[in-house]
Amino acid sequence: MPKSKRRILKAPKRGSSRKPSLELAQLFRVVARTATDAIITIDERSIILFVNEAAQEVFGYSVSEMMDQEITMLMPDYLRQAHQAAIGRCVQTGKKQHSRTALKLTGLHRSGREILLEVSLGEHVHKGSRIFTGIVRDITDRDRVDRELRQAKDRYAKMIQASPDAISLRSLPERRYIEVNESFTRLTGYTAEEVMGKTPSDVNLFVETEWHRNTLEKLQRDGEIREQEFRFRPKGGEIRFATLSAVRVMLDGQPCMLSITRDITERKRTEAALSHLASIVESSDDAIVGKTLDGKIASWNLGAETVYGYTASEVVGRPLTILVPAEYQDEIPEILERIKREERIQHYETVRVRKDGHKINVSVTISPIKDASGKVVGASAIARDITARKRTQEALQQSELHFRSLVHDAPYGIYRATLDGRLLQVNPALVKMLGYDSEAELLRRNDERNIYCDPQVRERLVKEFWPKKDFQGVEAAWRRKDGQIITVKMTGHAVLEKDNSLAHFEVFAEDITDRRSLEKQLLQSQKMEAVGRLAGGIAHDFNNLLGVILGHSDILDQHMGANDRLRKSVEATRHAAQQAAALTAQLLGFSRKQVIEPKVMDLNASVLEIEKMLHRLIGEDIELVIRLDRNLGYLKADAGQLSQVLMNLAINSRDAMPSGGKLVIETAHVELDDTYARQHLGARSGPFVMLAVSDTGIGMDAETLSHIFEPFFTTKETGKGTGLGLSMVYGIVKQSNGYIMAYSEPGRGTTFKIYFPSTEESLPVQQREMEIVGGTETILVVEDEPALRELTCTLLEDSGYIVLESSGVDDAIRTAKDMQRQIDLLLTDVVMPRMDGRELASQLAALRPNLKVLYMSGYTDDVIAHRGVLAQGTLLVQKPFTRNKLLQKVREALDFQAVSSLN
């Protein structure tokens, strides 16, 4: 430091008037040397002019190191500029700096460590210069201790406030609240302001005031109380339970009570619940058993005594295996391992054994038991005897399996549906009936929208059925998946909920489509049969009359000259009789009473034979298409009848195509299966020769189609059709053991399909036609119709034959007995009163073994033929017959039987 700067600290010259100043300076040095606080003096430039030894302890520098240095060396860098600014302001303003209150400033120790300083400042002027002196005290440690005390107080305050227990401080003996924490306010419902300065009695906190008084006396006597249970009443709440622990303390010389209150309401409730649960466990009918992890029985309730038959004293401490049959012993280790893994086993069904040795079925729920630390120390098992229930279940399952089997295998459709038509359950028969692929697919449908053809039918059914709760035999039309309509007959009943509301319907459905179809076909067949019998009866009598007309026409024609003016009348009479005969032949064909001679035929050849005729028949505006199966095979039928079938069907098609069209005739070999045969009355399975005739005509509706085979039914105008064409086709097909079906829709044409049984027989060899000649043999004529009998005898006599005439069977038998001459041929009617022609021939054959027989009839009634087919070796001339036909058949009979007798 410059000498000028230090001069102010030197003593005054001897003899000077400043002796007191020297004494003061000496005093200052003594004070500064002995002071425990650092004393530092600086000038206006912040140069240290004086520093005592105590400063060495504060800042770590020696006195010599600090002298003549700037005071900023003892400050952190960030304070130096502020210090210089403050000194500058003091110098400029001339304002004195005196600090009666110590300042807290940060200093810098020689080690670089910042220290907290408490500084008191003063100044004086010396020779015009301002001198600043500061007393500096290091308060770093004191500040740290104060801070730690404050932190400790804050921490303890927070701990008290954060405590879950209610903590309060009350004065003694006044018992007034001095301090409470937040848990106290939560527990009691009172705020701190509401209880401060008040006693518990002031807020009516304790339920038992006597208990409170006794507790305070104990505190005063013993200085503390521990875990005292009591009841208290929170603000506006229900009474709760708590424990009180307290100590007596002295605060500022005043005795006080520091108490901790803990709410145990939930614990008390839990204890009550546990006590209640214990009573339930003890009185439970279920066996409740405690067990250790090594499989020992630890507890045993009364229910266990009932279930297992042991008393608690008999089993507690014994291994659990005494309850387990030998074949179930392996369960126990596994169960114990699962318990150790803290698993809970629920409703485990097994078998246990009673004390008496009987095995029982039990349902067991096992739960792990843990100690306070959460460690598994055992298990509790609740077992219920389900032996009776298992037997019931097994019986029920057997019953259910039986029922399910019945439902699953039932041939009838069975389903459950809600009121709005939602299907709940269906069986396989219903799935098959409706043509679906699976039950799941059908269950996605709604019976009202997807099954019933007319939803209103179901709606009406539900309305009528719901009040009665069941129905039987109700028929409805259903729609299959493929769109096909079927008829079903249903029986159902309602299943109700407990409140009598509808749960669902259970319905049994039978597909009666085939039955209804067969019934319709049967009714049609019966009707056709009845009409056929009527037609056959008419034809029989009519043929007799026509035979007389034709025979006498032939006689007249034979005796007339070539130019006789009556010849035309005779021809007209014969023509009319022949047309009438054709009409009766159609009637007999329909009734299947016409006698035929079926032969093995090639259907393809028959079609080709009449192809030209068909072209002329249908006209040029109709295209004829013929498709023949080369591998057709043969059938057995009457050739003439087969030609009639083809022509009648062609005519029917022609009339259905007035504006032209296409007529297709097809043949094919087909195999009809059992399913087709079951669905079509009159059809049977096997190989068939099929003839199909199709047209592109106007077609027919279902009503018209149902009548087409009835005699005299026609859709043509009056006088343009007899109505016998298709009925004759029907009769011929049936008589040939065939089957005919018609398919038609309005505007889409018609197809007839005829199925003739296929035969393995070969085609017959063609025979040469016999020459018509008479003879001299004796013929016994038996006919109950006088006119026809007389005519027949005349025709035979005119041809050289000797004729014996009989009006009936009795007359014929007498003649055969009485006549001495040989009778060569019996010519007899088939249908006669009292005895038919076959019986007559049998009786006469006994009298005359070599008698030949020729039957004549237009209506055999299966006497000499089966379904119109003559028995083998039987000859017949059909009424009405002409002279030539009669003579041809008589000659054939005489010659054929003569050859047979020779062989």
pTM of the model: 0.36
Q: Is residue 773 part of a domain?
A: no
What is the pLDDT, as a whole number, of residue 717?
A: 62
686 and 649 within one domain:
yes
**Nearest-CA neighbor of 466 among 430, 487, 498, 496?**
496
What is the pLDDT, as a whole number, of residue 592?
A: 47
DSSP secondary structure letter of residue 321: G
What is the pLDDT, as a whole number, of residue 448?
A: 64
Identify the CATH number of the domain in which residue 506 sits.
3.30.450.20
Dist. CA 165–CA 187, nearest whole Å: 9
pLDDT digits (tens, 9 = 90+) for 238-281: 889 999 999 999 888 889 999 999 999 888 887 887 777 777 77
C-alpha distances in angstroms, 493 versus 209, 470, 505?
A: 74, 4, 6
**Tokens 């027919």 label which residue?**
700
Dist. CA 155–CA 845, nearest whole Å: 147
311 and 341 within one domain:
yes
pLDDT digits (tens, 9 = 90+) for 891-902: 988 987 543 333
Indicate the residue among 332, 357, 391 that finishes a domain. 391
> Above 80 in pLDDT, residue 10?
no
> Above 50 in pLDDT, residue 184?
yes
Question: Domains in the chain: how many in total?
Answer: 6
Q: In the structure, what pLDDT confidence band is assigned to residue 149 with cuts at 50, 70 and 90?
A: confident
Q: Is the pLDDT higher at 10 or at 19?
A: 19
Q: Which domain holds residue 218?
A: 163-267
> Above 80 in pLDDT, residue 659?
yes
For the CA atoms of the chain, what is the radius of gyration? 68
**C-beta of residue 86 within 8 angstroms of C-beta of residue 67:** no
604 and 704 within one domain:
yes
Q: In the structure, what pLDDT confidence band is assigned to residue 15 with cuts at 50, 70 and 90?
A: very low
744 and 612 within one domain:
yes
Q: What are φ and ψ of residue 310, in 5° steps? A: -95, 150
Quickly count: other Cβ atoms within 10 Å of residue 478's Cβ. 22
Q: Is residue 288 part of a domain?
A: yes
What is the pLDDT, as a whole number, of residue 702?
A: 86
pLDDT digits (tens, 9 = 90+) for 422-437: 888 899 999 999 999 9
Could you give the maximum distance between any two Cα atoms of the chain, in Å? 226
110 and 57 within one domain:
yes
Q: In the structure, what pLDDT confidence band is assigned to residue 626 with cuts at 50, 70 and 90?
A: very high
What is the pLDDT, as a whole number, of residue 877?
A: 85
Q: Is residue 677 part of a domain?
A: yes
User: CB under 8 Å to 547, separation ≥6 — which residues?
Assistant: 788, 791, 792, 858, 879, 880, 881
- E strand or H helix at 277, and its extent? helix 265-283
Q: Is residue 602 part of a domain?
A: yes
Q: Is residue 149 part of a domain?
A: no
741 and 618 within one domain:
yes
> Above 80 in pLDDT, residue 505?
yes
Range 448-466 average pLDDT: 80
What is the pLDDT, as a whole number, of residue 281?
A: 73
Q: Is residue 313 part of a domain?
A: yes
Amino acid at 827: L
Range 585-591 average pLDDT: 54
What is the pLDDT, as a whole number, of residue 539?
A: 64
288 and 256 within one domain:
no
177 and 323 within one domain:
no
What percentage of the chain has pLDDT greater than the value 70? 84
- Angle 471-477-481 from CA coordinates, rounded to 5°: 120
Question: Could you give the 3-state DSSP secondary structure of residue 438?
Answer: coil
Q: In the structure, what pLDDT confidence band is assigned to residue 624 with cuts at 50, 70 and 90?
A: very high
795 and 752 within one domain:
no
Dist. CA 283–CA 277, nearest whole Å: 10
Indicate the residue among 364, 391, 418 that finishes a domain. 391
183 and 134 within one domain:
no
> Above 50 in pLDDT, residue 4?
no
742 and 605 within one domain:
yes
Indicate the residue among 725, 759, 793 that finishes a domain. 759
- What's the burial of 438, exposed, middle or buried (CB within 10 Å: 0-12/13-18/19+)? exposed
Range 720-732 average pLDDT: 74
853 and 790 within one domain:
yes
User: What mean pLDDT is reported for the chain?
Assistant: 82
What percentage of the chain has pLDDT greater than the value 90? 26
- Of 289-293, 399-403, 814-818, where does mean pLDDT reach its minimum? 399-403
User: CB under 8 Å to 161, separation ≥6 — which residues?
Assistant: 181, 182, 183
Lookup: tokens for 255: 């005795």
